[in-house]
Amino acid sequence: MHIGLIGGIGVAATVEYYRRLTTLMNKRQQRLELTIVHADVQELIRNNNADDRRAQAEIYARLIDRLKAAGCDCAVITSIGGHFCFEETQAISALPLVSAVAPLDAHFENLGLSSVGLLGTRRVMQTRLYGQLKATRAVALDDEAAHLGQAYTDMAVAGHCTPDQRHLFLDAGRRMINDHGARAIVLAGTDLNLAFDGQDAGYPVIDALDVHVELLARIASGEAEPAAG
């Protein structure tokens, strides 16, 4: 199948989707059909902060129309924070949407994880991944969600992680493990690889981007349907 990515939210995450998806398809020795459209990350941030789901869904819908015109069979929002209006987008999308959030609950359950800690945008942390985790308990540092979320947004927009930001995220993960009973930390923000790649966190880390990309590779290979997301 032809995969369509809504990219640019942020750019570093889009590059990671592209890199990891091509790597998986090369391992499968299969050709990847892929088209990327570019969204405005500042526009997304404004709509997310205002919880203006309709406005962002309409922006996504226009981009999805372009993906459909390019021959795509499904569309992907390359930002977990950008999923805040997933249902609204799904209702007006010209293509099936493959969620990055929906596959996570089953993934955690398969790993036998009773509790996970979340890092990502403020809304992702406060809503516990939009309330979509049923089999696994999610924890977050609620008193610090605004600060951590702003640091994450700043990093995503800049496309790189400062030493202070890296320390902030690694320490937050450590405290969720030590003080809140998390069995693993979930990178529930698609730009968090900027902070965690190449680092020995000292605790189990699950990158939600990897889970999403694995599903996309299965869809691209014809092993799964877009509705599976």
3-state secondary structure of 182: coil
**41 and 53 within one domain:** yes
State the total domains in the chain.
2
**76 and 46 within one domain:** yes
Q: Containing domain of residue 153, as a range?
A: 102-207
DSSP secondary structure letters along 17-34 = HHHHHHHHHHHTT---EE
Question: With the C-alpha atoms ordered 136, 140, 145, 148, is the resulting torsion angle positive or negative?
Answer: negative
pLDDT tens digits, residue range 56-115? 999 999 999 999 999 999 999 999 999 999 999 999 999 999 999 999 999 999 999 999
Which CATH number fits the domain that encloses residue 67? 3.40.50.1860
**86 and 15 within one domain:** yes
Would you state the structure tokens that stand for residue 91, as one six-digit string? 């209702």
Q: Residue holding tokens 């995503």?
A: 156
**24 and 77 within one domain:** yes
User: How far, in Å, CA of 15 to CA of 100, rounded?
Assistant: 16
Q: What is the pTM of this model?
A: 0.94
**121 and 202 within one domain:** yes
CB 38 within 8 A of CB 49: no
pLDDT band per the 50, 70, 90 thresholds, residue 139? very high
**193 and 218 within one domain:** no
**77 and 117 within one domain:** no
**161 and 87 within one domain:** no
User: How far, in Å, CA of 99 to CA of 78, rounded?
Assistant: 9
